[in-house]
Each structure stands twice: as C-alpha cells, then as structure tokens.
Structure 1
Amino acid sequence: MGGTRIDSALAQPVAAGCSVWGATLRTDPARAALLNGTAAEALDFQEVLINPRNNGHAAVVIIPAILALAEQHGVVGERLLRALWIAFAANISLAEALGRGHRTAQAGFRTTSLIAPVAAALGGSALLDDDLDRACHGTAIAASALSAGLLSALSPTVGSYSQDKDLAVGFSAQHAVQSVLLAQAGATGPAAFLTGEHGWLASFGFDTAQDGFLSADPLEKHLDSFAIKPYPACFGCQTAIRLALELRQQVPAGQVVSVVVRVNAGSARSLSTRAIDNDLAARFSLPYVVASAFVRGRAALEDFEGEALADPQVLAFMARVHIEASAEMDQRQARSGGFPAALSVHALTGESVELAYDGPDAALDAAGRDGLLHAKLHALCDGPLLATLQALVTAPLQAERLFGIGP
C-alpha cells in the first residue's frame, strides 16, 4: 500500500507504468496522479497560496499530475522545471481572477479543485510539447469538465468530516493528466473557456471574479507566494498552533485557566468543531490543535490519528479553549492574504499573556523559516527519500531562478 488505503482498489498494475508513492505498485499516469494526489492531501501537510485575493493548495495537484506525465514520457531537467513553473504561475493568476466568491454564502466549491487542475493541465501540456493549440485544448478540457468538489464535509454544523476532501485533490490531479492526454490525442475543448458567457469565471467566480488578472504578465508571479505548512493541520490552524507552542513556555498546560483564540470570521466559523470523530475533524479544529499543542508540546502527525484523538487530557483541555471572530483579524487577513491569529492565555496565578502573528512563519528570520521546513521534511520521511522530497519542494523556485524570474 502507498499513502492511502485505496491504492489496490483504484489502480490497475502496469509493469512499466508510473510510480505510486510509498508503494511498489506502478500504474498508468492518470491513476498514479489520482493516488499520489490523494495521499499528499491526506497528510494535510501541504502548501497554501498566500494572496489577498485567494488561497488554496496547488502542489498536491500540480506535482502528482506533472510528475506522472514526466515519468510516462521520460521528461527530466530543464523542461520539467519549466512545466512546474508554468503551472504554479498560472495557479496564482487563476486564483486572483476567481477571488473568494465560490466559498461564500451558499456556495461551497473547493478552491483547489477549481484552480489547480486547470493550472496543472497548462503546465502538463507545456511539458510534452510546444504546440499552442494542444496546450489550449488541454487546458480548456480541464476547465470545462471539472470535478469541482464541494465543501459539504467541512462544516462544524454538519460535522461530517470525511475522505472526500482527500479524494477531491486526487481526482483533480487525475483530471489534469487525462485532459492533457486527450488533447495530445486530438480532443478539443471550447473557445473562451475561461472568460466566455458560460465559462469558468462566469460559473464559479460569483461576485468576486476579475478577468483582468488573467492577462497579467506571468513573469510577475513569484512562487514565494506559496507558503509551506509547518504543522499537519489546516492552514487556518497553523498560526494558532505556533502561538500555543510558544505561549506554553510561559504558562504550562497545568496552569492554564483559559485560552482565547482570535481569528478571522471565516476561520472562527469553519474551524470551530469540538466533535473529534476522526483525523480530518482534528486537523480542522482550532480547539483541538491548540489543546493538543499545549498538552503535548508539539504538533506531529501522530497527534492527529488513532488513539491520540481520544486522549482524555487533550479533550479536557479543549473545554478551556474559546474561539472568537475578530474584525481586526479580518482586516489583517484582507491585507496579507494570510491567516493571522492571536492567543490570550489566562493562568491560575491571575497572569495573562497574549501573542499574535500574521502567519506561522511571521517574525522569523531565514534560519527560523528553514528550521520549520527542515523539521517538516524530517517528519514526512528520512534517509534517501529526504533529499528527493527537498528537491520536489524547491523545484518551482529553482525553475524561477533558472529562467531569471525569481530572486
């Protein structure tokens, strides 16, 4: 088995096929992208776009899709890096054009499912050849035949946290691969698939769509807009975890009377569940992640699975954690596109301490940021795999430097 329990159910073994990460199984490129994307998302240890217009993941779709195509066609080196850069840069422009309307009011489409497969299809097309028509058709097929993914499972009021979140990412990676291969075989997609009357923006942009972002110079899209998540939880929980880990050094868990977590209104609403029925619920619960960090003094993969979810010390501490929506945090998020948080800890001594950050790596120097990344990579794997993972994480930035785009 690879990173998920569905490998054998969804993959047909192909002796000369593409790799399924974490397994000896090899399969066709579309299924490899499906399984690898699902496994990458299941860890909830991925990257997030930090942009005032939008957020969402990209690498968990783009890298499984493009690497599967590259492995199938034997593409390595500069051309592979170029394809990755194209996909990540396109993801930024698409996210900015879309805005956040697809997740407001009664709409509940997954940002990653709407944006990343379209960007991955463009990058995957550029990987295989330089034919503009085939690239346009591959991207058009991807945008027009999306498996959009709903947010129905990620609702504290419903409480049905389920694996559809992980599968939606896997299906997005598979969809990108299939769209590219169909275009390579001669299939065509519609014209004006992004900005047409019933195109991608008209269908999913709601009241926040701005098509001008699609014509912006892609060379201005620097890939350091993608932030790495240091802890294996939802990005909206990352800053609160860091704050909890730091503040417990001043007030140990046994001395805490209460913890007030102030976040933006959206996070306060969507990350408030206290019913920790499975690992996904834990990763999307501010009460759980803060309690776990205070009690355990860490935020590790094993804290979000199995018996750890029923730890009586953590569950009891959750009653001391209070979540508040903050207009100040709304304003800070609108300026930066990140997920700021503030924690106030009240101790048995009567002392109160408070700390706030705009993001999980705020106020850290380069060494501090590198330390977070190094700790994360070691948590994911060790030995020979570590160097490979480091290369994958930095590949898009290497591509920027290769083409004289980045710093």
Structure 2
Amino acid sequence: MYATQQLAQGASLLQSQSLPAEVLHHAKRAVIDWYASLYPGLTVAPVPQLVQTLADDLDRGHAWAGIGRRATARTAALLNGSAAHAAEVDDSFRDAMYHPGAATIAAALAVGHERNSTGLGFLRSVITGYEVSTRIGVAMGRPHYAFWHNTGTVGTFGAASSAGSALQLDDQGFAHALATAATFASGLQQAFRMDSMSKPLHAGRAAEAGLLAAQLAQNGVTGSLDVLDGEAGFGNAMSREVDWSGVAEGLGEDFHITRLTFKNHIGCGHTFAAIDGALALRQRLSIRAEDIAEVKVATYKPALDIACYTQPSSVNEARFSLSYVVATALTHGSVRLAAYETDRVNHPATRSLMQRTTVEVDPELDAAFPKQRAARITLVMRDGTRHVHLQANRKGDPELPLSDQELNDKYLELASPVLGQHKAQALLEQLWQLDQLAELPR
C-alpha cells in the first residue's frame, strides 16, 4: 500500500476501537492545553487583523470562534488555529518537531460543532489527528525541519485526519483527504526569521486546509495516493531519504498523544531547556543578575537558527531570542506573559545581561536532537567563580511532565484574564468531563 493508504487504514481502525482510559486522559490534557494557548493568542497579531479580514464569514455558520462569535467551519478553524499558536504556548510532539494541537484541535472542534459531535467523538477525532500527523512528522525527519515549519506542513495532515474522523470518513476517504492535504501543506521557516506576523498563520492555514481536504474527500474528490512516497512526492520534494515503509507502525497501539510536551514557559520551545537551566542555577545559588559577569549557553543548532535574535527590537523578536529569554529568567525569575510586555523587553538589567550572554552549538547536544532538547548553562560570576548546569530535558517534556494540577494552573493563568475566573473554571471542569458530554462546549 501507499503511505496514504497505510495511514488511512490505521485512522479508520481508530474510529471503531475502544480507546484506553489513559489515552482519553491525555487527549483531555491536550485539549485543556489548547484552550490555554487559544485565549492569550486572541489579541496577538495577526489574529485581530485576521478577524477584521474575515468579517464576512463571522456571525453565521454553526462553528465557534474563540472570540465568542459564530463562524463557518473553515473560518473557525483558521481563526482558532492561528490564535492557538500566536502566543507561543501550545503543545509539541518532540520527535516530529511539531506543534500538533493548534491545527488538529481547531479543525476537530470546528467540524465537531458543525456536526453536533459528542465529547467522546471529539476526543476520538483529536486522537486520530495526533496519531496520524505525528507519524508523518517523524518520517520526514530533521531534513524537512531545516527549511519547513512543521506546524504548517505536518499540521495540515493533523487537521485533515481529525476533521476526517469527525466527518466519519472510511478508509478510502481518509486516504484521499491525506492525499489532498499534502498538496496544501506549506509554511516556510524563513517566514519568521525576521520580524513578521506570518508564523501563527501557518497553524491556522493548516487547520483550514486540512479541514477542506477532508470535506472534499467526503464529497468524492480524489487525490494522488502516492503523493507522500512517489518520485516527485512530499517526501522527496521536502525532505531526504524518507522511509515510508513503517509509517503507520503502532498506530492504534502506541499512542503518541501520551508523550506530548506542554510548555512551562512562554516563547519558542527551543529555548526552554536553557530557561530551565538558568532558573535552576538562579534558585540554587540565590544569585542576582548584576553579580553575573558572563552567561554562556550551549545547545542544539535549531535553537540558534530559530531563536536567532541577539538584540530583539520588538516583542515578537523577543519570543525568538535565546539571549533575551535566558537573561529574563536570570533577572526576573520567570518567562511568562509579562516577559513580553514592552517595558520588560526593554528592561535595563535584562538588556545589560544580554550583552554579557553568548550562545553556541554544542555538537553532542546537537546530535541528540530531536529526541532530546538539552542545554548547558555556564555562569561566570564577578568574583571569578563558575557554575555549570546541564538541563537534559525541559520541564513539560515526557520525562518531566506537567502534573494535571500544573496544567490546570497554566490554563487558569492564561484563560482567566479573557473569560473571567468563574467562566474559565467552569469550562475547565467541562473539559475534564469531555468523554461524558453529549455536546461540545461553545
């Protein structure tokens, strides 16, 4: 079988099998984290501009947009997918170098509202999207990530699969949805290597495009079933030496959704090991930023490529500045929403420490990427002493997971300013009971 057919067969089987309680629990965690990402993203550019641009598609249709207005399904997917990625606090699946939730859940929710899905049906759609798309991301490997933004490319397959599940596609329908999704998949890393608003749109467009691919398949539109593994297909065109032979291996048995990373800080996830290391040294040594003569950060190469701004001149650049987030962690003790307020970005003590911060690639840590995201932090104090900390994993990785309570706290911190404490708490309680709900929250 072609890769699309292998994946489609696995996706189809997921629609009828009993889902383990552990898997459903992890799916609920993913959905809660998605809502935690959605609400702070609603005010981050380009989401407000997107709302203005899509005005004709709002206040009609049967789907729900995070801004509290009805929308057509594709518009809801585009808006919610963009917002869920805009604040840089959404989940990731490490081995696929990919943020699966933003697009996958946005598409599942849009179709779920349109078709009046149950909570359990919605969770099944979410799981299907994660399980199919993460396997494509793993197969495409690091060569794909060198140029392409996986959240835009691989995310299209997550959305197509989750929407396909909600639309109750059969084997053939799933295969053609994936085939069409491959021709829609895009998102260049260069789009966010200078100050721009493009990056969140990759997730939103993936959600919209994947949903459309599933809708087209439902209505009989066919795609090239060899579009992933063909001579001029997705693998050869956008990666190197991709092995598709076992792409669906373990699908329905080994659930990737149980091994997600949930962000414990806000910003580019490639900086998080360095932030954790800086915070560990700060707490252990009870140091002040002004006592530090030099900060040395050694980590894997993509962290330097993507979190590339050495002197960020805007809030958006600060999110992708390894030197800024490490200096902020050492100066203020956290990297949360307040870290990206203009006054904080331009804080004199932070800016001064950035001048004393250097970043470099560590060959050993780079060789372990993407399965491990590590960083080594060295602090040279003004009295000449040196302190070194190797952060092997990030807080929030499967090895150091956020507890359910920590996830609840993250959600309430980020959702309450938008919804209000009472509504945020009420929604959280509904999300933990999704598998028991006859209809989805709106």
Superposed CA offset, 1:262-282 (max 9, x none): 101232343232231222211
Determine which structure has the larger helix proportion and give its number: 2
| Counterparts of 2:202 and 2:87, CA distance in 1 | 14
Aligned to 1:98: 140
Aligned to 2:249: 216
Aligned to 2:306: 270
Superposed CA offset, 1:102-158 (max 9, x none): 233xxx111111212112212211222242222222221111232x11111333xxx
Q: How does 1:297-316 map to 2 (within 5 A)?
A: 297-316=333-352
Aligned to 1:17: 62
Aligned to 1:46: 90
| Counterparts of 2:211 and 2:397, CA distance in 1 | 39
Give the one of 76, 81, 84 matched to 1:32. Answer: 76
Give the one of 324, 333, 345 matched to 2:379. Answer: 345
Give the one of 173, 188, 192 matched to 1:154. Answer: 192
Letter in 2 for 1:197: E
DSSP-derived class of the 2:246 partner? helix
Checking the alignment, whether the CA contact within 8 Å between 2:92 and 2:99 is kept in structure 1 is yes
Superposed CA offset, 1:344-370 (max 9, x none): 111122222111112222899979645
Determine if the alignment matches structure 1 residue 121 to structure 2 residue 160. Answer: yes
| Counterparts of 1:189 and 1:203, CA distance in 2 | 17
Aligned to 1:163: 197
Give the one of 62, 85, 89 matched to 2:131. Answer: 89
Superposed CA offset, 1:188-232 (max 9, x none): 22222221222222221224x111231312022332222111111
Give the one of 334, 355, 366 matched to 2:389. Answer: 355
Aligned to 2:24: none
| Counterparts of 2:401 and 2:234, CA distance in 1 | 41
Letter in 2 for 1:86: T
Letter in 1 for 2:329: A
Letter in 2 for 1:112: T
* Structure with higher RCO (Cα < 8 A, 6+ apart): 2
Letter in 2 for 1:109: W
| Counterparts of 2:336 and 2:433, CA distance in 1 | 22
**TM-score normalised per structure 1:** 0.87
Checking the alignment, whether the CA contact within 8 Å between 1:119 and 1:139 is kept in structure 2 is no
Aligned to 2:4: none
Checking the alignment, whether the CA contact within 8 Å between 1:61 and 1:169 is kept in structure 2 is yes
Q: Deviation at 1:387?
A: 5.6
Q: Would the alpha carbon gap of residues 313 and 394 (structure 1) be closer, same or farther in structure 2, given more than 3 Å must change? A: farther
Aligned to 1:258: 294
Q: How does 1:193-342 map to 2 (within 5 A)?
A: 193-207=227-241, 209-218=242-251, 219-249=253-283, 250=285, 251-333=287-369, 337-342=371-376
Q: Would the alpha carbon gap of residues 269 and 16 (structure 1) be closer, same or farther in structure 2, given more than 3 Å must change? A: closer
Letter in 2 for 1:101: P
Determine if the alignment matches structure 1 residue 184 to structure 2 residue 229. Answer: no
Q: Deviation at 1:314?
A: 1.4
Checking the alignment, whether the CA contact within 8 Å between 1:282 and 1:289 is kept in structure 2 is yes
Give the one of 107, 111, 114 matched to 1:69. Answer: 111
Determine if the alignment matches structure 1 residue 5 to structure 2 residue 33. Answer: no
Checking the alignment, whether the CA contact within 8 Å between 1:94 and 1:213 is kept in structure 2 is no
Q: Deviation at 1:25?
A: 2.1
Greater CA drift, 177-186 or 87-96: 177-186
Aligned to 1:377: 411
Letter in 1 for 2:319: R
Greater CA drift, 248-257 or 10-19: 10-19
Gaps in structure 1 of 5+ consecutive residues: 400-407
Superposed CA offset, 1:9-63 (max 9, x none): 2242234432111x23221110111111111111100111122xx3111101101
Checking the alignment, whether the CA contact within 8 Å between 1:332 and 1:358 is kept in structure 2 is no
User: How many residue pairs are counted as aligned between the two chains?
Assistant: 383
| Counterparts of 1:175 and 1:87, CA distance in 2 | 14
Gaps in structure 2 of 5+ consecutive residues: 1-40, 437-442
Determine if the alignment matches structure 1 residue 141 to structure 2 residue 177. Answer: no
**TM-score normalised per structure 2:** 0.80
Checking the alignment, whether the CA contact within 8 Å between 1:260 and 1:343 is kept in structure 2 is yes
Superposed CA offset, 1:228-247 (max 9, x none): 11111111111111122221
Letter in 1 for 2:65: V
DSSP-derived class of the 2:240 partner? coil
Letter in 2 for 1:60: A
Letter in 2 for 1:14: D
Letter in 2 for 1:354: V
